[in-house]
Amino acid sequence: MGSPEQGTAKILTNRQGHPIVDNQNSRSVGESGPLLLENYNFLEKIASFNRERVPERVVHARGAGAFGTFRAYGRIGEEPAETYTRAKVLTDKERETEVFVRFSTVVGGGHSPETTRDPRGFATKFYTPEGNWDLVGNNHPVFFIRDPIKFPDLIHASRPDPVTNRFDPNRRFDWVSNTPEALLVTLMTSSMRGVPKGYRFMNGFGVHTFKLINAEGVATLVRFSWISQQGCHGFTQHEAHQVQATNIYHATEDLHQAIERGEFPAWELCVQLMSDDEHPELPFDPCDPTKVWPERDFPLLPVGRLVLNRNPQDYFTEVEQSAFSPGVVVDGIGMSNDKLLIGRTFAYSDSQRYRIGPNYLQLPINRPKCPVATNYGAGPMAYRVDSAAAGVDAHINYEPSGGNALREAPAVGVPHEPFVAGHVTHKKIARRDDYSQCRDFFHALSEFEQQDLLHNLVHFMMPVRRELQERMLAHFDRIDTAIGDAIGQGLGLRKAVPVPEAVS
Ligand code: HEM
């Protein structure tokens, strides 16, 4: 791979198809004379180079991708999958669905180290015959916020200071200490789960509450999880520093090399289910993405298996230009009242129209692998003529029409039509409880992981202002006074409680 073999090379051309006879010497007047502007090949080469970049993703810029397949088991728990959903990608066990997955870190730029302590993105595009389904998740089951209006502030607080361009932990802890809904994922990212050993060694989570909708139009609330068949493994902060000293691409390298070796990584897709109502009996809102659905009450039910078995041919064409959106679902999967999810459905395609261009869905990596027949078109870089592919009259780019034109599709199954009513308002959801699940998370960790987490938090908070340390300690106390005390002692703000002599 990669090394050009002498004698087998093909003729180099420019983008007009003209053979390039001299690719080493610009056209000039005499051997040392001025260059000529008529030199098309030179101008095209430099101009193309100047345009080799599109804007990075505003978040999740650093990533790696791979192709593979997904196959459903045909059952969800004890039931045929059709009991819950009419989405064939989840019900038809004879069908192998092509997928493309992009993993990523969030905050850093396109070439930032992959050892960073940051959530990891886990975005999957299913190319189904009913159109694409994008499941755009992370490696933690919860997110920092429950309202999309807070997202730019979360990202600004996580980024370098706008004046000094340096990371400043005061900014992040200032924001977190004023946003207690972010505590649970802050604990998760500060733990050993915060720096996965590689993309193969982490689970993925859809995070949001979606709906499964069956042929009768009946909906069930659902959360999606990808369970790694390689196991979950993370680095301690010390190990992460050691890797970062010599390799800032370790996760990309690991994924690519495993696939090259034929060790194809796999994940099992699982769902958790809840009936489609508000569940007043629960201490949390089922549509709150800052809360987990505890597995003891809502067990993981296997649905299918994903295998990644092919590396991209070209990073820019296939990985950089890939475009996912949580709003892209197939019939049988729907949106819930999760505010964050609905906010995201706008953000992604808007970003992609700017980042790649309005015709980004015509690119092979994003184009559905089923017929696409729209009346949209034109705009920069348009090349596909939908009407020609659909065999309709190209003069009729509107609907309705009595001619040989595109027309609306027949309905599939009974529509799901939830009833919604309420005052138009700006309000927080009622059930917030930002502390109990933090306590559960901490106590579910092994002794080693608890110590590692406490050590990391002390280390991260050591450089921040006293007033922010105090505010964070107040939150830790509300989670569990033992956590507040341990971190307070580590920061030198609280005295160690003397340990009683052991009585034999
Ligand atoms: C990427 C916005 C929350 C996971 C992006 C992008 C934007 C964005 C604008 C870049 C899209 C592109 O240019 O292709 C937001 C907003 C959020 C939000 C406004 C909240 C309101 C989340 C959550 C998750 C998540 C909750 C995980 C469940 C991802 C992933 C990518 C991404 C995995 C990278 C997709 C790829 O690999 O191309 N986000 N995001 N984001 N976001 Fe979010």
Output the residue whose Cα is nearest ligand 1's atom 20.
Answer: 148
DSSP 213: E
In the chain, domain spans: 39-371, 434-504
Mean pLDDT of 183-188: 98
First to last CA, the chain: 67
CA of 57, closest atom in ligand 1: 13
Active site residue 138: yes
> 3-state class of 285 per DSSP?
coil
Residue 6: what pLDDT? 55
| 467-478 tens-digit pLDDT | 999 999 999 999
Catalytic residue (choose from 138, 311, 359, 366): 138
| 345-359 tens-digit pLDDT | 999 999 999 999 999
CA–CA gap between residue 469 and residue 461 (Å, rounded): 7
Residue 190: what pLDDT? 98
Cβ of 345 less than 6 Å from ligand 1: no
Report CA(142)–ligand 1 centroid distance (Å): 14
ipTM of the complex: 0.97
Active site residue 456: no
| 355-405 tens-digit pLDDT | 999 999 999 999 999 999 999 878 998 888 888 888 999 999 999 999 999
| 71-91 tens-digit pLDDT | 999 999 899 999 999 999 999
pLDDT-based confidence at residue 101 (cuts at 50, 70, 90)? very high
Mean pLDDT of 310-319: 98
| 144-157 tens-digit pLDDT | 999 999 999 999 99
> 3-state class of 220 per DSSP?
strand
| 245-285 tens-digit pLDDT | 999 999 999 999 999 999 999 999 999 999 999 999 999 99
User: Quick check: 24 pLDDT over 80?
Assistant: yes
pLDDT-based confidence at residue 503 (cuts at 50, 70, 90)? very low
Q: Report domain 39-371's class.
A: mainly beta
Ligand 1 pocket test, pick from 60, 142, 149, 181 with the greatest ligand atom count within 8 Å of Cβ, gives 60
Mean pLDDT of 6-19: 86
Cβ of 340 less than 6 Å from ligand 1: yes
How many other C-beta atoms can be found within 10 angstroms of the C-beta atom of residue 147? Answer: 16
Contact 397, 387 (CB under 8 A): yes
Residue 3: what pLDDT? 52
CA–CA gap between residue 255 and residue 399 (Å, rounded): 46
Report CA(132)–ligand 1 centroid distance (Å): 17
Q: Is the whole-model pTM more than 0.80? A: yes
Catalytic residue (choose from 60, 208, 250, 475): 60
Q: Which residue's entry shows tokens 């107040």?
A: 474
Mean pLDDT of 473-498: 92
DSSP 152-171: HHHHHHHSPPTTT-S--HHH
